[in-house]
Each structure stands twice: as structure tokens, then as C-alpha cells.
Amino acid sequence: MVEKTIFAGFGGQGIISLGQIWVSCGMEEGKQVSFFPFYGAEKRGGIARASCVVADSAIASPIVSKADSAVVMNRDSLEACISTLKEGALMIVNSSLVPLAELPKAVIERFKVVPVAATEIADRMGNVRVANMVMLGALAKRTHAEILAGLEGVLSHFFPGGKKALIPLNVAAVKAGMEAC
């Protein structure tokens, strides 16, 4: 198994954290992983991307030139993902910010597009900041990357001390993402 994934959005959507959690879950399952973040100089609102590879065997390069899957959190990230995806690749789109009707016909024809209203789902859960975790659940389900067994343990590293109270909400958001697709 090799899953090469691009996560893309804007700063503040938790893209970098999403990539880190994805590969950390892979490591928990004994997989080989690579994580390569890219973000603009802005603290919030700039470009944020992460290239991640989760594999059963050694990874030759952390650079993902042709991805198997992409998580697209906003409209501005769509073009970057299109140019990086393999033909027929999985593209999970935050349909709250990128309505399916606004996707170019060529995108729908070239890729397996899965709309997930991540921002709306997270908002209904009471915290829009877990939209990234909704997308994590959708990605895990659609790629069949069985790497979320150790999710709570991984999240305990991301939410230490008093922030541990956020773990149940994040786990619930992952489950909501799995159910959404």
C-alpha cells in the first residue's frame, strides 16, 4: 500500500496539522511515512499545503509529484491540486467552500470527486475549526487507509494538558467525516 496525498487550503484551516495527524496515525500502524509542509509567510489566510506519503515499504522521496488523493479545503487550492493529481485520482472537496456546481467539468471528468460539506458539519458540531478532522475521516474512508486505529493516542500528542478536552470533539468530527461520504 502506498497512498500519496496532497492537503491544501489556507492558513488557519489546520492543513499542516491535518497532514501531521495523517502521517502520525500511519506511524502508529507501523507504516513508513513522509510529511512535507508548504505554507506562505502569512500567519492566517495564506497558502497552506502538505504532501504526505503513507506506505508499507520504504519511501523514495517526500516530494509528491503525482498524488493518489487530495483534500481541497478552499477554492484557491483547487488549481494546485489539479496539477498534482494522477488521472482518476480521488479529490475530496470541502463543498461548503467549493460548491460542486462551481467545479469545472474537466475536473469532474478527470477525477473521482467526493464532496464533503466539512465546514457545515463542523459548524453543526459547534466548532468550525474541526472541519479538517471531518476531511480526515472522509479521506480515511475513501482511501481505505486503515490507519486511524491509534487516532486518540495521536491526538493526545497534539492536544496536551488542558487541551485534551478537545480530543472527543475531534474524534467525533473524524467519525462525522466518515459518515458524510
pLDDT 10s digits, 61-98: 888 999 999 999 999 999 889 999 999 999 999 999 99
Under 8 Å between Cβ of 85 and 113: no
pTM of the full structure: 0.93
N- to C-terminal Cα separation, the chain: 22
CATH number, domain of 17, equals 3.40.920.10
Provide the number of structural domains found in the chain.
1
pLDDT 10s digits, 133-160: 999 999 999 997 766 778 999 999 999 9
- pLDDT category at 15 given cuts 50, 70, 90 is very high
Predicted confidence at residue 134, as pLDDT, reads 98
Under 8 Å between Cβ of 34 and 98: no
Parent domain of 97: 2-180
CA distance 75 to 26: 28
Q: Does position 41 have pLDDT exceeding 90, yes or no?
A: no
